[in-house]
Structure 1
């Protein structure tokens, strides 16, 4: 009998020692690399929304349990707390394995080297050890009731955190990005052998690029980025004082324009000959071709000199529609409302994304407002100061503005945004060597996920385009193609 009691104490001491080593080692490892620990928690689908406070709570709990296991009078309580904590960790991994695509381990130290299955087995073993140690001294109805109820509420807590975090992440995101594994896969890459390229459009299995230095040259790539054909555009009137000629291709048509000159040319991709279809007093600064007869544009109001949206329609004769209540002024109505425009041919939506604030606008093809959405960063007002010169009437930013959203593209129900800001818990070194593309679901009005487009040398993303074939990205002189995960189609 004495031997059994002595053996029982030895086993209990051994269990407590193992737990002290485990928790102290794990807590110290997290503490020594605390920033990385928070980064890992920030990528967890269960804990993303609570990564900040939980990073501190976990450390405090692990150190506290270790102290309790050292003190004889508190040892049993410490074992019970260790059992509940390990049960929480185990439930966490079960959800990760069954409901998440990928989450980095956030345990610290040598445990970080384990795979998820090995980690699950390890956690189950230590959970059983804590339960054995807790039940070793005393077993009665009250003890079993406490174990069962504690287990139930511990597992329930994990599921509640998962549900709340998912809701917060997608609908009320506190600027925490999710980089799910397998969201995109790079399938092709080619050397453009030139800088200053931009996407002119796509269609019929082709991708069309142009270049700001040679605006009337069209570079036609097949969708595998294997075959290149160059076309030279001819226009019927080339005596205009063009400053910045742009090209848009929407097969079977293409459009040539320069907003500083109020003319638009249209032609067919079968011969690349462009003919003038508009001339007038309508100057514009941005343009998006919706179809062969309708073009959305941004211009300045004649009276207020502020940015407004409009539409050119070319049916029997040209009609112009101006909408002056879509863009919302915060400071000057020009620089603070600057942004990118894209058109989704599937849902027939126009999307206007502000450069300097976390908002985008969705309208239908008639420029009727559908809703205003937000990107996940927290910049609600444009951080820009504008000087106004009365004599010349010019407006100029007094300081460089912080660009929140750089480039955008939309297709189907998704909006893709090249963000200019680093989110919470994102590694600084990775941010310096890559660009982030955020994905938003326009139908459900939610943030979905993000992925990195890695720099090539010192070159970063300079343009993006999306179609039914995939995501196309220009980085310096390189054109890349990515395939979106099937769950997004």
Structure 2
């Protein structure tokens, strides 16, 4: 059955008007809610690195195409441009559905009500309409145009549009993971809130995780440790059996690892150890250097941080007490930018599963990974842009003590590690981030230090802005955090669970 030219013209006219309405509505919606649109693009695994130019370019391009479609003389160009743009949108949705590590929020406007699958079907229908209009187009209204010419141009436009999206996706992933321009990604639910308990006091600290239980010490009651099972339902109090004799302690902290618990106080030359079955201290590791941080590696070996040399700079070392006491200092592991004390201040961690020392700087975007003998394996960066410590430090009269005379921004306030996954609580807001999210939560950035890449981020929510995030700890299945006097637990889900349980 032959379709009349007048009917073809009516179909072309209707499709052009539909595209004009769609593009004008879509572009105006984006412009009105531009900040939110830009934030959503910043969360896209495909467009993160190009969120700013894309957020500016798409509404402008939609308006230009809509304007071209208003004029019958240029509608062929407008329809072909519409087809190319819709191919890009469709390829984007297809990649997001089948190749993306996670799916972000929708694009806003009326399309926000659609699921991603519905959106894909909607785009395919629009593509079919554009093809139909181009094939029905009046031959006399565009120079040298034949049906074969249109088919070839459609194929070239489709291939070019798909290639553009693939290239954007490839380069964006490379930039975000390896050269991150301070853009965070928030995939849906990598860790979900599971439970919380009120501890009454804010003097608790996380002591470790062993045998399926999380242990907490208390600076005001150092003679006992409390513990909970993994979901915080079962609470126990463990009273420490210990006769310190004439030992004078300044600040006692407990560390629980495996079958043992350790008494740590950097002001004395001893480490005390006991068994968690009896909670009795029965072993003394003597001749331990003064330290500011210490973490047990095994029953007789600890990695520690101390102040060493004339300038009392921060230095990492290892203590071993097997047949004889051995202390080894890892000179050069920490890299000073100023005086070597505050500029190298940070969090000392140990990945038990990989036997790696991990050290994260407080005041700059750097961390270092070394084996248990102090050999540097990797120096990485967190995604913020603060590469150099901005601290003014004064030397006191004795020449060996320093004090901060001008405070700096704390970039990374706390951290924990499990296997090759590094969790960092950042205090610096990135580009294209939601202000409300920062007001009601603490942001945790996740890195793979073995690949030296940023993975993504997730929030740990608080009940009040007055709650202070003091510390957190990651296990194979959960993340525990102290928020003021509350202990909260988040269950690890989805891709994060795969990352943490991978070999």
TM bin, normalised by shorter chain, reads over 0.9
RMSD, aligned α-carbons: 2.0
Q: In 2, Cα distance between the equivalents of 1:375 and 1:465?
A: 19
Counterpart secondary structure, 1:336: helix
| 2:479 corresponds to 1:471 | yes
Aligned to 1:157: 164
CA offsets 1:114-170 (integer angstroms, 9 cap, x no match): 111111111111122222222222442222111101101111211221122112211
Question: Judging changes above 3 Å, is the alpha-carbon distance between structure 1 residues 152 and 478 closer, same or farther for their aligned structure 2 residues?
Answer: same
Q: In 1, Cα distance between the equivalents of 2:147 and 2:7?
A: 21
| 2:463 corresponds to 1:456 | yes
- Conserved 8 A contact 1:91-1:155: yes
| 2:324 corresponds to 1:313 | no
Aligned to 1:89: 89
Match runs of 1:236-247 below 5 Å: 236-237=243-244, 239-247=246-254
| 2:231 corresponds to 1:220 | no
CA offsets 1:297-344 (integer angstroms, 9 cap, x no match): 111113231111111111123211112211101011110100001111
Aligned to 1:111: 111
Aligned to 2:366: 359
Counterpart among 294, 298, 317 of residue 287 in structure 1: 294
CA offsets 1:374-398 (integer angstroms, 9 cap, x no match): 1111211112221222356431112
Which sections of structure 2, spanning at least 5 residues, go unmatched?
A: 140-145
- Conserved 8 A contact 1:26-1:109: yes
Aligned to 1:428: 435
Structure 1 residue 229, shift from structure 2 partner: 0.9
Structure 1 residue 273, shift from structure 2 partner: 2.3
Aligned to 1:480: 488
Counterpart among 274, 293, 309 of residue 267 in structure 1: 274
Per mean C-alpha deviation after superposition, the further-off stretch among 83-92 and 191-200 is 191-200
Q: In 2, Cα distance between the equivalents of 1:280 and 1:222?
A: 35
Q: In 2, Cα distance between the equivalents of 1:89 and 1:58?
A: 10
Aligned to 2:357: 350
Q: In 2, Cα distance between the equivalents of 1:224 and 1:34?
A: 41
Aligned to 1:381: 388
Q: In 2, Cα distance between the equivalents of 1:278 and 1:61?
A: 71
Aligned to 1:439: 446
Aligned to 1:78: 78
Aligned to 2:63: 63
CA offsets 1:359-409 (integer angstroms, 9 cap, x no match): 111111122211111111121111222122235643111222111111111
Q: In 2, Cα distance between the equivalents of 1:31 and 1:196?
A: 49
| 2:410 corresponds to 1:399 | no
Structure 1 residue 101, shift from structure 2 partner: 4.6
- Conserved 8 A contact 1:24-1:63: yes
Q: In 2, Cα distance between the equivalents of 1:240 and 1:68?
A: 85
- Conserved 8 A contact 2:311-2:339: no
Counterpart secondary structure, 2:491: strand
Q: In 1, Cα distance between the equivalents of 2:299 and 2:353?
A: 15
Structure 1 residue 238, shift from structure 2 partner: 5.5
- Conserved 8 A contact 2:40-2:107: no
TM-score calculated relative to the size of structure 1: 0.95
| 2:193 corresponds to 1:186 | yes
Counterpart secondary structure, 1:156: helix
Structure 1 residue 196, shift from structure 2 partner: 2.7
- Conserved 8 A contact 1:197-1:210: yes
CA offsets 1:69-114 (integer angstroms, 9 cap, x no match): 1223222111111111011101111111112253334533111121
- Conserved 8 A contact 2:308-2:315: yes
CA offsets 1:260-290 (integer angstroms, 9 cap, x no match): 3333211111222225624558221111111
Structure 1 residue 186, shift from structure 2 partner: 3.0
Q: When the two structures are aligned, how many residues end up with a matched partner?
A: 489
Question: Judging changes above 3 Å, is the alpha-carbon distance between structure 1 residues 230 and 152 closer, same or farther for their aligned structure 2 residues?
Answer: same
Per mean C-alpha deviation after superposition, the further-off stretch among 131-140 and 302-311 is 131-140
Q: In 2, Cα distance between the equivalents of 1:434 and 1:319?
A: 44
Counterpart secondary structure, 1:398: strand
Aligned to 1:277: 284
| 2:376 corresponds to 1:369 | yes
- Conserved 8 A contact 2:312-2:400: no
Which sections of structure 1, spanning at least 5 residues, go unmatched?
A: none
Counterpart secondary structure, 2:342: coil
- Conserved 8 A contact 2:393-2:405: yes
CA offsets 1:234-255 (integer angstroms, 9 cap, x no match): 4332644433211101131111
